[in-house]
Structure 1
Amino acid sequence: MIAEEKVSLLSSKIHIVSEKLWKVVLFGPDNYRSALISHYVRSRKKSLKKTAIQFTKELLDGYLDEEITNAVAEEALQYLFKFDEDIPFPKPAFPKFTFIDLFAGIGGFRIAMQAHQGECIFSSEWDKYAQRTYYANFGEIPFGDITKEETKRWIPDKFDLLCGGFPCQPFSIAGVSKKISLGRLHGFDDVKQGNLFFHIADIIQKHRPKAFFLENVKNLVTHDKHKTFKVIKETLEALDYSFHFKIMNGKYFVPQNRERTFMVGFDKNVYKGKENFQFPDITDTKRKFKDILQNKVNPKYTLSDHLWKYLQDYAVKHKEKGNGFGFGLTDLNGISRTMSARYYKDGSEILIPQKDKNPRRLTEREAARLQGYPDHYIVNAVSMNQSYKQFGNSVVVPLIEAIGEKVVETMQTKIK
């Protein structure tokens, strides 16, 4: 067999193996090998090459009969991950600053900051389904659990901006109520989730980015009689960063009532506390829910008679008790309620009226539009339910972009 035929056969085997690898090892909280390889494939940074090849050899071990040499590993790299032309949201050709994307979810922050010519040089997200959607759109697998040193060790030494919408369950009104009812602690007493903020603080302290840009739920400011927010503010200020915050509503960008707390800060060693940062002034623009709706929708999104009856009976029962619980039949000329991660259960908070039919849920594309994602964003890399969870947990992209514009403008202004 001539050499060319051997190479062709090996390439064919690697291609088949890569399909198997996708199903077993490429995603998950402890995916640092596949994450690093994908970061190398996207960036081609020489500092990552040696480790990327070694990790590729480890991933291939047991899947090929041939000796897995460095050359075989390099051959495999082109099959394991997307080609540049297949990525909906590639990195900017001429980046003006660098940022890292923590608690990345499905990349709302990344789309916004890339719009300002930022280059993402590290991403982290522990949920394997969110990793799949992130990869489908950016061609990069985020690293997993940011609380682990094996993940943190791959954060580049230097970057300009730290972005992150850190998990909000410990601080949200719903999350706090649920934990109390279950006899569980919340806020910073919730070791698994609440303390994730301190990992952000540790990364800021170690790497000293020029600025940070964080997002959380509206209730963060008032949680635990303002104590939680006080700790966050004082922790960041103790690291010699300024601290700006504002509660802003995404309804001025998308037809959805979605209030969130945004926090921005700049390194005082660089800006001397003299930066002229202001959150953007937002015009009270009228948004209409009907503008995000698709013309033709599969009947599967229409509620069954059983579910529709259940939701109506449930609403009546709670109304009689004086509670405000119930479904939300959306005004097509107005805005919707806030979409949550539980939307996949019954869609009750945002139902769409239909003539002579039961109401229906949002489609995945409509859920993406409700958060301001462009229509070329890939929404079907995961199941419908997972997609609903992901958009319910996400940010309003154009609002992040509007704030991000002010952050970048301030970050790139020299202080005399």
Structure 2
Amino acid sequence: MQTRFTPEQLADPRIARANRILRSCVHCGFCTATCPTYQVLGDELDSPRGRIYLIKEMLESGRDPDPRTVRHIDRCLSCLACMTTCPSGVNYMHLVDEARAYIERRYRRPPFERLLRWTLAWILPHPGRFRLALRAARLARPLAALVPDARLRAMLRMAPRRLPPPSPADAPQVFAAQGARRARVALMIGCAQRALDPGINEATIRLLTRLGCDVVVPRGAGCCGALAHHMGRERDSHAAAARNIRAFMAEARGQGLDAVVVNASGCGTTVKDYGAMFEGDPLAEDAAAVAAMARDVTELVAELGLPEGAAAPRPLRVAYHAACSLQHGQKITRQPKALLRQAGFEVLEPADAHLCCGSAGTYNLLQPEIAEQLKARKVATLEALSPDVIAAGNIGCMVQIGSGSRAPVVHTVELLDWATGGPEPRALSAGGAAQARQPGGFRMPADAR
């Protein structure tokens, strides 16, 4: 693609990077075949190729963004299916991230929309605030039909009917390896996941300690910054990321780290991009070091290997949902399915597995109409397999699919933990009976999910 940036514009490293990305696009249109929003809306400007043209025009002009450009960029899921399809290697992720940051700096949204985005950025990355908001939403849920704004209705309807208590496993501490230590790893405990389903972190800790890892929950770590990052709020996202970088590097420089383990794939894609996010920053070297250590939990478990004798406690048909951030963002496609099969589960893959479920961070809250269409399509393809359970590697996908599916939805790591001696995932267990003390140094909360 030909660009017309001035030498003065290209002196800005951000514009220079956008220019390189733009010029790598050859207009082939392969991306349109795998873009969920183009399939739903049928508008060229709601495809990656169309958005690339809009971003080019916006950045070249140097002017404030117009409402049409903002609308079409806001509709992008950042599912990154286009990057998997693109034969030219266009880094659409960095391009759309730059476009969103530009819009956030230069575009004056309507007052209600500004308030809504600020509220999401203020609440979601903070588990305590998020729990309070979920309790309030649960009380207001019966009145959702009376709320005039579709986005607020979506937020109320997404509130869970039951909210698990905080987990003691999320406090800064070290969980000792069982048997000979094979690795020392830090666990990113995240933010929204801690409020919605703390059992995922607990299952991760049990599984990794069982495989010979000392698991560290570092002091000062928390939200990865992804939620704010994808809304263009760079100050918030970089502040959150910087806290994590400092926390993980303090552990690495202290007793050493072999990996930073992430069990929410949306977070993992962002953490693995810390080096690019902090390019030119004083934290650049440390950011790149953390990014290099980052591993999805299934990546690390595949490297360590499941223990001999790992076996599903009972036969289950598992429909595997490949989260976009895992299959497109991190290019992890084989390990989760291979591990589930090795553990004795029957793994089923839905049609159009490359398409997004519509969750995409805050997308299902900010673009509920499109997200509902994508959810309905995804749930239909999963339920067509007649599964006993649906497994995914990202909390956002789990909540999105779970709000429309009759089948229980669990995290992949919960099934692997169960197959290697852990408790049955709460979504599968009858009545969710309280669990006894579990290996790893903490008591499982009685009604954790």
* TM-score bracket for the superposition, by shorter chain length: under 0.3
Q: TM-score, normalised by structure 1?
A: 0.26
Which of the two has higher C-alpha Rg? 1
Provide TM-score, normalisation by structure 2: 0.25
